[in-house]
Chains A and B, each alone.
Chain A
Amino acid sequence: MKKLFLSIVGLYIIFLHAFSQSSQAADSATYTSKPLKLDEINLVSSYYSQTGNHSAVTGGIGNERVTDLANGLSLTFVGWDGQGQKHSIVAGLGIDHHTAASQAFVSKSGASKTGGSRVYPSIDWTVENAAKGYSFGAGAYYSGEYNYHSFGFDLNYAKKTNNNGEFSVKANAFLDKVTLIYPSELVPGSTVTDNGGGDVTYTTASGRTVSLSGGGGHERNIPTSPRTTVSGTFSFAQVINKRLQGSISFDVVGQSGYLGLPFHRVYFTSGTDAVESLPSSRFKLPVGLRLNYFLGDNVILRSYYRYYIDDWGIKSQTASLEVPVKITPFFSVAPFYRYYTQTASTYFAPYGKHLETETYYTSNYAYAALNSGYFGFNVRIAPPKGIFYSSFSAMEIRYGHYTQTTDLLSNVVSFEFKFK
């Protein structure tokens, strides 16, 4: 009896082993690696036009006319490894060109240039394991313009739950350098300096120092000051029922370094002016909620709410609603409205209201108490076989009109073209 029992157990173990070997052979045959291949091209272009009369360059008064043409191209490459994991690499390049009327008054005479360009490449890599329900990734970013340079990095991880939910976390850091271009009358140091031995240094209105010695000359760089931003983003998304899903997201953001802009003026009650002075640290905590509901067969309600607080005294609330109406399954028109309200920063006061005894002061109206309204519409065209039966797979056009109670108003029109 004992021998029979042991024989049966032995046969059972051999039976299991045979299956485990055959399943391993099947697993390795299921996943074949595929090299990275171009999967999608996205082009987003926007034209922004703004008017206002509270320019920070001139101390909270003056022309705020701005135009900005922004273009961003991204290429998405997708491949698979031998473990069945999907690898995505998104390479992006953005180029913006702006004109700002107030920029002319960095020089007291209004002779400074009014335009500038910014270039910002980026790369992101993501690995997704659909079977186990997780993904992780990393990214790098650079932004360069005449008065500001930034290097950014991020790491992210996401995990699905058993009941149609997903947690995600992201850590982000920006290491920036602010070029210290001061208003012409506030450039530190003397205009011309005789250093002796035939060496003469002079400082231009923009703050550039030029040194001449021995008949030749070399230009020293305008000094810079660092700014560091570190943030953590935590999100949870959940399917609630067949028509409703929502998410909650919050960021914890810490900044340190030079957090103002060196060409922003402040005028005191005495009539004298100075460069704005802001604390060298800032802590921000925004919390956002999204809820999307599919109403009937043709209408979607996309809602968003955000509460924001920081240690500069600003508290704000944002609420928006967008209502895509599907004219056909592949053509939709979505009117939207966004409302925003904020309290003033502790350090803000209008033109001529700051006291010289204050430690921190700004007249940048982005920090004033204000309400804003933004309304417009979004049109989306995405036929299943592509526009004109080509690889031009989708197009979106978006227009918005923005007004603030500070008398700033703007219009923006954007296009997105997707190719697959």
Chain B
Amino acid sequence: MSDSSLTFTRQSDWRVWFAIPVLAVAGLFALLGEWIAPYSVTGYDYTAILSSPTAAHWFGTDELGRDILSRLIIASRTSVAVALGATLFAAITGSLIGLLVSYIGGRLEAAVSSAADIFIALPDIFFAILVMSLVAPNPTILTITIGIIYMPQFTKIVSAMVQSARHADYVTAARSMGASGTRIIFSDILPNILPIIVVKFTLTISSALLLEASLSFLGLGAPPPNTSWGQMVGSLKPYIYNNPWPIVFPSLMIFFVIMAVNVLGDWFQDYVNPEVRR
């Protein structure tokens, strides 16, 4: 019988073919940054301000005459790093707290669960705005703030999973064989939770990218000289009536990367769901 997991259905085909190249490009930009950018970050060219795409400047120039393509490449590092960092932070600390709290159980767990609920219910952007306007902004603070915002979701997932796993047969079986608590957590519970956490991970990256972009757009993200895609869009916004072209490129970049992450997450969800595989 053929291994159906390797045969993509027609629908998932396009998903993977679209998502992976986009993300690869974004990753490459983020890693290589200045080395592949045609112009330097501060290369002001006052002769060509806010120009549409030309041979010299493939994506045009911004309000200070800087090459958009180069800035886009360099900005990738901040955008990707913040989103990735925040998600990792949220996933790791959230999961650890979830594990700890559900292991202890009782009132502590109930309290943490309710607190997490409140956090999850309210829109993420407000807390971010609050914090970023209170403290001196820098990329690290931004990353941690966004991470803290998404942490409760991981806590809840892990907590719920541990709860249900606690009473599961395979845990009782392991216990009866004399396995210790930590061993049970790491070798029995975690592998079952992992697919769900991975799915949540991709969803969170998508949200974090969006949040960082929105914050930077509003001017509350990482300040210059750090550039991020959102920040580029924000600073070009007053000039769209002069020439709409420059703003299109960083906007599309954000759009495609977020969509790629979403699509990949969708694909992964279908992949781990045995009913959808054919």
The judgment on whether A and B are partners is no
Q: What residues of chain A have their CB less than 8 Å away from a CB belonging to chain B?
A: none
